[in-house]
Structure 1
Amino acid sequence: MKRIQIFENGINVVFEITDEEQIRLLHFSSLPFDESTLTSKTGTVGFSMVELQVSGIDRAGERHGNKYIVTAPGYRLKYKDFKDVNNSVGRKLEITCFDAETGLETVSHMQFYNGTQVVRTWTDVNNCGTETWTIEYVSSFSLTGLEKEGLLPQNEKIRIGICHNSWQRELQWQFCGLEEVGLGLAQNPNFQHSSKVLGVTNVGNWSSKEYIPMGYVENSEVGSALMWQIEHNGSWHWEISDREGHLYLQLSGPSEIESHWSKDLAPEQSFRSVYCGVCAVSGGFDEAVAEMTRYRRLIRRKNRDNERLAVIFNDYMNCLWADPTAEKEFPLIDAAADVGCEYFCIDAGWYADGIWWDWVGEWQESRKRFPNGLREVTDYIRKKGLVPGVWLEIEVMGIKCPLADKLPDDWFFVRHGKRVFDRSRYQLDFRNPAVREHCHEVIDRLVREYGVGYIKTDYNIEPGIGTEIGSDSFGDGLMEHEKAYLAWLEEVFDRHKSLIVENCSSGGLRMDYAMLSRCSIQSTSDQDDYRKYATIAANAPSALCPEQAAVWSYPLTNGDREEVVFNMVNAMLLRIHQSGDLADLSAERRELVREAIGVYKNIRTDIKVAVPFFPLGMSKFTDNWSALGLKSEGKTYLAVWRREGDDHCMIPLAGHVPENAEISCIYPSFNNYRYRYYPNNRTLSLRFDKPYTARLFMIEYLS
């Protein structure tokens, strides 16, 4: 037996190579390895490096249900090679295993990134044999022993975090003990194994329609935590369950059982699993999110937008509601320029004379809405010093689009011989070169003829498990389409270097870092109640970088000044998506919008490098008080919202703000509420007399 111990960027990783020539991952943690924590009665048998299931092979031993353990040939893979190298981003491990009977080879990749405690992991499967094999499941990350540090029973120390997500109810974290998810101890602790799985799964093209593709586990006894994200824009799965007295974690993309995915791998062919980012920290949720934020900045496409953090006006929310005309746009453009916006996006409807929903697909301007052409409006936007943008739903075609009946079926998703419908749209198949070329022609024309510099790419359907055309399974067709779409996006950025592409899917229903490693900005919600949006805004940096999290601010025509302030504070530590009928606001209320944008422009250089923290925990829609902090060099910014309930709140800042600090309210300038910072216990005391009030503070560190 041989042990390989790695310590890199604060993460301890320990491998074991057994006398039977198998390699096992014994440890992945911020804490050092302790041999005595391996308490399973079967030793280290269950600490698999990778799980791989192919069709037609028996699973030896007891697996208990649909758990992704004791996979075949995963359980019998033999160790072949271990590479430890350095590249341009950090240290890289490659662990190769081989199954002689099938000729299948796995390569487990662990890419460390200098400057953060996150490792990117994935698995390559290579067919080195002579027979075609069908893959049903392959893990991107496999770790056993989540609970092993500490002396307390796992029931008393393990907490799991799941980020629920849905339309207008995005980014809702729930934290549960093992008993709450059905994994409480019921057998000998050194032998505990059951058929119960905590499985968190997405099936389809809306990657975050029910859950954000990430998760969290903490051990409260020893003060350590793991956080992960699955970087895929389609079907994915993670699970936690028990195995011979230990808890395990499996991360993967699509699978046969959950998402109708299987892949035929012929001799000399290879398959790469989805990327995952896995973080190990000493501390808790805030520390893990900070590391994930640093990692997300390292893996995304370098772009000017995430350096500049431009202010975008979009005419949809609490404004034109997808009913644009030239007459309506001109006063909005004037108002947006007046308050300091830098981009102006014309949202849905610009291409249809009437009902726009099921006509999408040709993307030709409506002369009824724009009698002198759309160019008249985009020219006026530029004349006012803004960059024009438009809304597209480029991946679909409406059933009333004139093109739809002229095109062959291989342009679209097909199942059981029929085109796939959802909400009166067809799903385009980006594996088809003609589809990609059509979409490039649309983008090229908008940039060339109208000077468009911003495109809001929306996506409002769920085409389900996939397509049967040219695929090994429905899920295989979906996954290959998603890869082709990402490749097309990269081509768009190569063709148009300065173009900003917003990722929107009915708000935040495709909030993943396959998309966000390409797109610089993400719609976080379609929530149309600014009072509820505060919760989504406060939680947003847990799932994406602050400078990528677009939050609507849409002052009401008939509101008061506190309503404007609440709206603006929602967006001011993230990305401002300004909307609302600014042209009809009173002079005082419009001035508050202008003031907020001015403050934002002064602090956005800090936002793009800051890391978030959540001093009141993750916000819920029922919370009376919420808070979001961003820590930058030498200062901290803090947004605080009061909805209803008690007018007083104590916000703990220990661990985030030094004792010697000075606090000031930087928005709004008329602040009439009381606040005081107590350095002895690092606490901010606030009293907001009026419900639905928000303020933005800056805390500067004194030398």
Structure 2
Amino acid sequence: MTECNQALTIEHAGMVMAWANTDNGLMQSTFNTERQLRTKVPPIPAPSFELAIAGIPYGHSPALISGLTRLPEAMKLISYSADAEKLFMAYKHEALGLKVETEMRFVPGSAVIRQSTVVTNEGSSPVVLTHLSSMCVQGIASDGALPWYDKRKVRVHYCRQTWNGEGQWRSGDLEELGLYPTSGHPSAAAVHFSSVGSWSTGKLLPMAVLEDLETGKAWYWQIETSANWHMEIGHRGSWSEDSGAIFIHADGADERFGGWSKELLPGESCRAVPAAFGCVDGSFADAIRELTAYRRYLTRELHGTLPPAPVVYNDYMNTLWGDPSRDKLAPLIAAAAAAGCEYFCIDAGWFGDLGSSWASGLGDWLPSRNRFGDEGLEALLASIRHTGMKPGLWLELEVCGEDAALAAKPDEWFIRRYGIRAGGGPRWFLNFGHPDVCAYAHGVIDRLMRMGVRYIKNDYNLCIGTGDDTGGRAAADGLQQAMRDFYRFIDEVKCRHPELILENCASGGMRADYEALARFHLQSSSDQEDYRKYPSIIGGSLAAILPEQLGIWAYPYPLLHSELANPASIEEPGYLRTMEDGEQTIFNLVNGLCGSLYLSGHLHLADETNRGLIAEAVALYKKERAYISRSHPIWPLGFTRMNDEEGWASVGLVSPDRSRILLSVWRLGSGSEYRILPLERWRGRKATVNLLYPGEGYSVESSYSANTGQLTVRLPKPYQARLFDIRFEVLE
């Protein structure tokens, strides 16, 4: 920290954040990687938060922009302190009695700052908050010769999501995304990304990267909430002079984006959802490297004494499809154990009787009376333990079906809106703010633990919607509280049962934010059942989720959902012959080796060749998972779009010292047998390239040139995949 002419500069991990001295005290002005920053035009300092209350004009263009509220400009700095770990600042609006405190923590080992913001009503009258930001950072991409709006300067990277189609990154310049100057007045335009409801990653990821193509720098951020969120890129300009710069803003509390508001009585406080942000010299990949390091710091105590990234077999995807029984499970258990799996998770259906629709009975979580023979589910779980694996079960802890006995509980047990339980049919949503609900759910988990369960897959197959308006509060505020209540319950579960592994799933990746992932050991990447489409999802998801947390399905011998009416089809000689060359199994396992290997499929039908390929991949994964848990991703071919069936795809996992890459390469439906993969950052460094998986009998041509920094790979058939081990000479 340095002070010069009563200004403040904070430096951390190559980042430089500056505050200017104003009549109201220190206000944040620039955020860059250069200490001696030359800006094209002077920035406009402002506090690192935005705030609005009912009855006070919002600010500039309130219908269009969130990041230009009026109240912060009238607040004065009353105290601040800084050390090597954090910066604390407190601002106050004397007339209204509102105090805002921000704490920026400098994350060790990464170019990331994590901000928390709290507003307190120190006045004598209630106030109604209508906006509270999680972060607002000024002075973005303010250096260089090009004006901020030039199409050649700024590129914004963001990620679209949908069911079965997660991780679809896109990019655009500011103008095409919605931010551009229109006159001599400050711009009323902005780039907006937002989500409403508890499927926080159902449409977009709550993160973005802004790249300055002119100066070779990148800014990045993520907001950590499973409730509503909103991100904005705008321009803070002047009415009277040529000044201003781009700002980035994020919040989980905005009346205009989700209907949030909250009354604060005198003495009460409100805490914003946290956000993390940073900047780095480099590009998108460098930004993700820093966010990956930050996420590891955030989850550093997640596993305790549990082994990270275990090999899990789950019986659902392309296998039993929620219809388990003792007879169906027995060969799968034996095959999974033989392959080297460490956990065996029985997915949906274990609680419903054969011949019945179990969906409307969610919530009671009692074992089926007729699926598992006379000895029942507990004996089957014991048989899993006898193979050396640990048993797991699927739950949807947060819901209750209308036919469950649990449905008879009072309405206070449930999330409500308009006085009516939110949801309906198979899924009403439980209120984990009610102590009896928490006690009930703890009782369920305690009982399953006594039965030997050591793995729970918690699914979440419906979105609450706008939230819970019980007691007259804004539904959006109720939603935020509902998520906090549930995660407090999850924290309690982990304290009670430190030997239990928890997987987060929401129809795949529909709730994959880091409010959730700071608590769950594993995240389901997708419900995608076509292995050929998975590389697109894997590549994009690795930018948002730690590889060791990203559960990636690998399902050899799949029974697709469209073939459920003819389950015997996968045992027909014609089908089995299509599997003989092993290439479909290899493709599946290369998918899984990019993150946390998550097996399914009819492994017991595998012939000797395919059994060997499965066991080889599992053994390799166990050998490399410690490396995977230290690596960060790269994309030599960029991101592959979901329906790009004519191309290739590639993802690399790079060591911290950049001396090694585990490189997955997929030929999709491309008509070309050859693909050149640029590894430009390693240009000039000699390397050895070895085919890591599969092994003997599956060699392919490859050639690396240190002069060009390019790897050429030949895969002679469509829909082939290989995993390469690239090791570079260590530079002195």
Residue 502 of structure 2 aligns to which amino acid in structure 1? Answer: V
Q: Determine if contact 2:688/2:726 at 8 Å carries over to the other structure.
A: yes
Q: Determine if contact 1:388/1:451 at 8 Å carries over to the other structure.
A: yes
Decide whether aligned partners of structure 1 residues 475 and 14 sit closer, same or farther in structure 2, where only a CA change above 3 A counts.
same
- Distance between the aligned counterparts of 2:706 and 2:198, measured in 1? 49
1:204 positional shift: 0.8
- Distance between the aligned counterparts of 1:436 and 1:72, measured in 2? 41
1:445 positional shift: 0.5
1:422 positional shift: 4.6
- Distance between the aligned counterparts of 2:276 and 2:522, measured in 1? 20
Q: 1:133 aligns with which of 114, 127, 137?
A: 127
Show CA shifts across 1:637-693 (max 9, x none): 100111012221111112257712111001111223211111111210011110001
Is structure 2 residue 653 aligned with structure 1 residue 652?
no
Pairs within 5 Å for 1:276-675: 276-300=275-299, 301-304=301-304, 307-353=307-353, 354-371=356-373, 372-404=375-407, 406-422=408-424, 424-448=426-450, 450-470=451-471, 472-556=473-557, 557=570, 558=575, 559-560=578-579, 561-623=582-644, 624-632=647-655, 634-645=659-670, 646-656=672-682, 659-669=685-695, 670-675=697-702
Residue 542 of structure 2 aligns to which amino acid in structure 1? Answer: P
Q: 1:212 aligns with which of 185, 196, 205?
A: 205
Q: Determine if contact 1:109/1:122 at 8 Å carries over to the other structure.
A: yes
Residue 536 of structure 1 aligns to which amino acid in structure 2? Answer: I
Residue 283 of structure 2 aligns to which amino acid in structure 1? Answer: G
- Distance between the aligned counterparts of 1:579 and 1:656, measured in 2? 37
Q: 2:61 aligns with which of 55, 60, 63?
A: 63
1:33 positional shift: 4.8
1:49 positional shift: 2.4
Q: Percent identity?
A: 36
Decide whether aligned partners of structure 1 residues 423 and 212 sit closer, same or farther in structure 2, where only a CA change above 3 A counts.
farther
Show CA shifts across 1:553-597 (max 9, x none): 011243421111000000102011100011112221122111111
Residue 12 of structure 2 aligns to which amino acid in structure 1? Answer: E
What secondary structure, in the 3-state scheme, does the structure 2 residue paired with 1:465 have? coil
1:71 positional shift: 1.9
Decide whether aligned partners of structure 1 residues 658 and 516 sit closer, same or farther in structure 2, where only a CA change above 3 A counts.
farther
What secondary structure, in the 3-state scheme, does the structure 2 residue paired with 1:655 have? helix
- Distance between the aligned counterparts of 1:128 and 1:259, measured in 2? 27
Q: Determine if contact 1:658/1:701 at 8 Å carries over to the other structure.
A: no
Residue 299 of structure 1 aligns to which amino acid in structure 2? Answer: L
1:175 positional shift: 0.6
My pick for the range that moved more, 660-669 or 470-479, is 470-479
Q: Determine if contact 1:54/1:72 at 8 Å carries over to the other structure.
A: no
Q: Determine if contact 1:305/1:500 at 8 Å carries over to the other structure.
A: no
What secondary structure, in the 3-state scheme, does the structure 2 residue paired with 1:212 have? coil
Q: Determine if contact 1:549/1:575 at 8 Å carries over to the other structure.
A: yes
What secondary structure, in the 3-state scheme, does the structure 2 residue paired with 1:514 have? coil
- Distance between the aligned counterparts of 2:298 and 2:62, measured in 1? 37
TM-score, structure 1 length as denominator?
A: 0.95
Q: 1:688 aligns with which of 702, 715, 720?
A: 715
- Distance between the aligned counterparts of 1:612 and 1:142, measured in 2? 28
- Distance between the aligned counterparts of 1:145 and 1:208, measured in 2? 28
1:359 positional shift: 1.0
Q: 1:169 aligns with which of 147, 165, 170?
A: 165
Decide whether aligned partners of structure 1 residues 580 and 67 sit closer, same or farther in structure 2, where only a CA change above 3 A counts.
same
Q: Determine if contact 2:29/2:44 at 8 Å carries over to the other structure.
A: yes
What secondary structure, in the 3-state scheme, does the structure 2 residue paired with 1:542 have? coil
1:269 aligned residue: 268
Is structure 2 residue 11 aligned with structure 1 residue 7?
yes
My pick for the range that moved more, 336-345 or 364-373, is 364-373
- Distance between the aligned counterparts of 1:318 and 1:593, measured in 2? 16
1:32 positional shift: 2.7
Q: Determine if contact 1:63/1:69 at 8 Å carries over to the other structure.
A: no
2:222 aligned residue: 229
Q: Determine if contact 1:342/1:385 at 8 Å carries over to the other structure.
A: yes
- Distance between the aligned counterparts of 1:298 and 1:576, measured in 2? 22
My pick for the range that moved more, 142-151 or 516-525, is 142-151
Residue 66 of structure 1 aligns to which amino acid in structure 2? Answer: L
2:564 aligned residue: none
2:89 aligned residue: 95
2:241 aligned residue: none
Decide whether aligned partners of structure 1 residues 461 and 657 sit closer, same or farther in structure 2, where only a CA change above 3 A counts.
farther
TM-score, structure 2 length as denominator?
A: 0.91
Show CA shifts across 1:45-85 (max 9, x none): 5x34221001111246x436331244242221111111103
Residue 15 of structure 1 aligns to which amino acid in structure 2? Answer: W
Decide whether aligned partners of structure 1 residues 642 and 436 sit closer, same or farther in structure 2, where only a CA change above 3 A counts.
same
- Distance between the aligned counterparts of 2:191 and 2:205, measured in 1? 15
My pick for the range that moved more, 634-643 or 438-447, is 634-643
- Distance between the aligned counterparts of 1:35 and 1:687, measured in 2? 48
Decide whether aligned partners of structure 1 residues 307 and 289 sit closer, same or farther in structure 2, where only a CA change above 3 A counts.
farther
Q: Determine if contact 2:181/2:187 at 8 Å carries over to the other structure.
A: no
My pick for the range that moved more, 21-30 or 355-364, is 21-30
1:470 positional shift: 3.7
Over the aligned positions, Cα root-mean-square deviation in angstroms equals: 1.7
Q: Determine if contact 2:40/2:147 at 8 Å carries over to the other structure.
A: no
1:109 positional shift: 1.3
1:423 positional shift: 5.5
1:24 positional shift: 1.7
Q: 1:182 aligns with which of 178, 181, 201?
A: 178
- Distance between the aligned counterparts of 1:693 and 1:252, measured in 2? 43
Decide whether aligned partners of structure 1 residues 599 and 71 sit closer, same or farther in structure 2, where only a CA change above 3 A counts.
same
Decide whether aligned partners of structure 1 residues 149 and 700 sit closer, same or farther in structure 2, where only a CA change above 3 A counts.
same
Pairs within 5 Å for 1:12-23: 12-18=16-22, 20-23=23-26
Q: Unaligned regions of 5+ residues in structure 2, if any?
A: 238-243, 558-569
Q: Unaligned regions of 5+ residues in structure 1, if any?
A: none
Residue 65 of structure 2 aligns to which amino acid in structure 1? Answer: K
What secondary structure, in the 3-state scheme, does the structure 2 residue paired with 1:376 have? helix
What secondary structure, in the 3-state scheme, does the structure 2 residue paired with 1:403 have? helix
Aligned positions, number: 688
- Distance between the aligned counterparts of 1:627 and 1:152, measured in 2? 34
Show CA shifts across 1:485-541 (max 9, x none): 111110000000111000000000001011111111100100010000111112221
Residue 269 of structure 2 aligns to which amino acid in structure 1? Answer: S
Q: Determine if contact 1:422/1:461 at 8 Å carries over to the other structure.
A: no
Show CA shifts across 1:119-145 (max 9, x none): 101211111111111111111111233
Residue 440 of structure 2 aligns to which amino acid in structure 1? Answer: H
My pick for the range that moved more, 629-638 or 408-417, is 629-638
Decide whether aligned partners of structure 1 residues 422 and 403 sit closer, same or farther in structure 2, where only a CA change above 3 A counts.
closer
1:636 positional shift: 1.5
1:143 aligned residue: 137
Q: Determine if contact 2:133/2:253 at 8 Å carries over to the other structure.
A: no
- Distance between the aligned counterparts of 1:657 and 1:574, measured in 2? 26
